[in-house]
Structure 1
């Protein structure tokens, strides 16, 4: 997708009394506001956000990673700096380096950190438990123009804890049902399967291994498959953890393991038990699979004519419903927060309210980001950027999807591996899953209990 460079445009500069923007005890007094450089000055950015110069002269450090949100945002930061007088020191690094940097700095007070870009599912619980993230609730309450309620409920849920807000979602991703419209037509199928039963019926009609054509492209490698299995698990009424108790050995969970295992084993390509996301994506984009269930972020690869033979032949549908309904995951890969040890919290919030505002969010969506704001997905400009049929699915999933697609624990990696062992056994066709699930559940419960201490 072609990207246009952001230009620093001063739409208007108006002298106005500065509205309160502080948070709790961190809020500056009115006297301090009046005496600070440019305290009474505001300016409107090209995206329509009113910005203050009350923190002029400050420098904020932004630890971040290269994502579809961050890459185009970097082009716009010079305008923010010009209008606010705040210098943004962007330090971009890979995911693991970013997490380690935050951990090392925060453990010694975090005074050298201001803005923290983090992965809620992997890091929020640890960062919140250790008090590394500032509570943003007060800033949000005093900033009605920020329109916090506009963010998907799933995004607000995963970045909050005990009534406090610790981050603002910047990206979103949902479970998406992709299908090859040509293969569906050849099989005499119209529309997408609405239930798990219909899903298997479609699979039987579409599966043609003798001609190297398969019904499904789904993840089979245990650890990788856990996040996609989550939607099926909840469709049967199960979950990884329920009311503080491990729940991967319940009757609902066993049914989900068996069903997902059957899909991979009987209706996907040989060797699918070892497939990670890239393998299942390749199977679909090379025209060898009729149906593909994974994150909607992969739509661009499926529609890229240079790498996908099915470009122009891809349909999109909602995740089918199990006995407990349609339960797609709707996750937030990345969020932005403020270090609790920051010495520039007001300036940091000014950046966040601009960078995640409705106006900037729409601009970033048009450059390839997958927004976490409801209004952005409802904007006709955004709808025009994405494939026909995809936006409606995203809107529905954003409103009802579950924000957690794995065991949600600080030791999430270890917990995910435990679930993967049962999933692998199911895909391999093990006859007695219950003993395997019971053993895994006991180990998962040990992790749950440990984190309660």
Structure 2
């Protein structure tokens, strides 16, 4: 009896010793929370791999993973990063190439624009978990009651008129909700896209900042006007998740943000307005042929500092596979499937039937031009960001200036002047401006 017990203990210890634990750093967005809830499905298929989750707010996630990978800290085995970081970090040899993902992975099924954005010299360095552009989500019932029509391809004039008509502050209904929380991937993702749609650009061809241009003045002034008159209180603290919650509670007439939000605002279990949501393209300024569509993919990558790269690759191959999409559909319905990554999803009749936003999402993503996001000549690429290493710092600094203006702490003119001064100094220090 003692021998049997000892043998079992030894066997259990041996099994435990063979188990590999990988640490996954991810953002606290709904699709990632759902991925975490699917842990048991992964571990059943991979009993030798255990998952440890570190789920963080977007700005904090970016700060921690950037610090860890730059210092080769090795704290994480899987990183959730985006189309901004991948090409920059891959060129620094900070990421592991994602080759040999398995015969059934079907890398050719990845949407070409997303796959290209996550590749360097034809090699994939991150696998897309979900992809997105940006679009207008609006309450069809409020628009009808207010007597306004939001066209499929609206202008900012259309948006302002609709926001004014749908605002009912006495009943806590606000015509429009937009990002105000500072951060290069928070308010500046939206404001850069909005500025692009006004014909603005971050830099001229000599890398001189352009924040005192007429286009930037018009974009920021109109943004502040919309949010001051028709937006919710405390908007300078609202990012993606805060505005999602407001819209689901029925407090936003319109929300212009990432297309990935569509499955959550139409979720009848969590959204009080699920059957009253319409969709339209990201707006443009009259006379400017640019809707400011962005292209982003929250993706999973392996830092070169990880000591558990094989196990990490097994997890990434599972989480970004067709099979994972089918697991989500089986559990929560096709509407909840991670969008914007695979061609096959948009050819799936079940998905098209359950996801009224599918066509607009694909249209918005296909319209994004990350090689030339402004109608003016620019020396950089990127849609809602500038694809240079310095953008994390300067984008967040500018975002803080603009968020302060939204909070009433400065004027649009002062915020733009401060942005011009700060970015000029940093770009000169970095050697872009001679």
- Please report the TM-score for the alignment, with normalisation by the length of structure 1: 0.69
Partner-residue secondary structure (3-state), 2:250: coil
Instruction: Work out whether 1:230 is the aligned partner of 2:197.
Output: no
Per the alignment, residue 327 of structure 2 pairs with 363
Per the alignment, residue 93 of structure 1 pairs with 54
Per the alignment, residue 422 of structure 2 pairs with 443
Per the alignment, residue 5 of structure 2 pairs with none
Instruction: Work out whether 1:336 is the aligned partner of 2:300.
Output: yes
Partner-residue secondary structure (3-state), 2:130: coil
Alpha-carbon distance between aligned partners in 1 of 2:315 and 2:247, rounded to the nearest angstrom: 40
Per the alignment, residue 362 of structure 2 pairs with 395
Per the alignment, residue 292 of structure 2 pairs with 327
- Please report the TM-score for the alignment, with normalisation by the length of structure 2: 0.71
**Range 309-318 or range 344-353, more displaced:** 344-353
Q: Give the root-mean-square deviation of aligned CA atoms.
A: 4.1
Structure 1 203/391 Cα, relative in aligned 2: closer, same or farther at 3 Å? same
Contact 2:136-2:281 within 8 A present in 1 as well: yes
Partner-residue secondary structure (3-state), 1:293: strand
**Range 194-203 or range 210-219, more displaced:** 210-219
Per the alignment, residue 393 of structure 2 pairs with 414
Per the alignment, residue 176 of structure 2 pairs with 216
Q: Which of 68, 76, 80 does residue 41 from structure 2 map onto?
A: 76
Q: Which of 251, 260, 268 does residue 231 from structure 2 map onto?
A: 268
Alpha-carbon distance between aligned partners in 2 of 1:405 and 1:256, rounded to the nearest angstrom: 14
Per the alignment, residue 248 of structure 1 pairs with 211
Q: Which of 99, 107, 119 does residue 148 from structure 1 map onto?
A: 107
Alpha-carbon distance between aligned partners in 2 of 1:315 and 1:204, rounded to the nearest angstrom: 18
Gaps of 5+ in 2: 1-16, 27-31, 371-381
Structure 1 356/305 Cα, relative in aligned 2: closer, same or farther at 3 Å? closer
Alpha-carbon distance between aligned partners in 2 of 1:58 and 1:125, rounded to the nearest angstrom: 34
Larger Rg: 1
Deviation of 1:187 (Å): 1.9
Contact 1:248-1:254 within 8 A present in 2 as well: yes
Deviation of 1:93 (Å): 1.9
Structure 1 144/343 Cα, relative in aligned 2: closer, same or farther at 3 Å? same
Structure 1 411/290 Cα, relative in aligned 2: closer, same or farther at 3 Å? same
Per the alignment, residue 9 of structure 1 pairs with none
Alpha-carbon distance between aligned partners in 1 of 2:20 and 2:201, rounded to the nearest angstrom: 41
Structure 1 231/101 Cα, relative in aligned 2: closer, same or farther at 3 Å? closer
Contact 1:121-1:404 within 8 A present in 2 as well: no
Contact 2:105-2:321 within 8 A present in 1 as well: yes
Instruction: Work out whether 1:198 is the aligned partner of 2:158.
Output: yes
Deviation of 1:133 (Å): 0.9
Q: Deviations over 1:88-144 (max 9, x none)?
A: 34232234589758965885696x97x5223125754674354221234x658xx88
Q: Which of 166, 188, 203 does residue 147 from structure 2 map onto?
A: 188
Instruction: Work out whether 1:383 is the aligned partner of 2:379.
Output: no
Structure 1 248/135 Cα, relative in aligned 2: closer, same or farther at 3 Å? farther
Partner-residue secondary structure (3-state), 1:134: coil
Deviation of 1:235 (Å): 0.9
Deviation of 1:406 (Å): 4.0
Structure 1 443/295 Cα, relative in aligned 2: closer, same or farther at 3 Å? same
Per the alignment, residue 95 of structure 2 pairs with 133
Alpha-carbon distance between aligned partners in 1 of 2:21 and 2:33, rounded to the nearest angstrom: 20
Contact 1:410-1:451 within 8 A present in 2 as well: no
Contact 1:254-1:434 within 8 A present in 2 as well: yes
Deviation of 1:180 (Å): 1.3
Alpha-carbon distance between aligned partners in 2 of 1:109 and 1:222, rounded to the nearest angstrom: 27
Alpha-carbon distance between aligned partners in 2 of 1:452 and 1:129, rounded to the nearest angstrom: 19
Per the alignment, residue 130 of structure 2 pairs with 171
Deviation of 1:274 (Å): 4.8
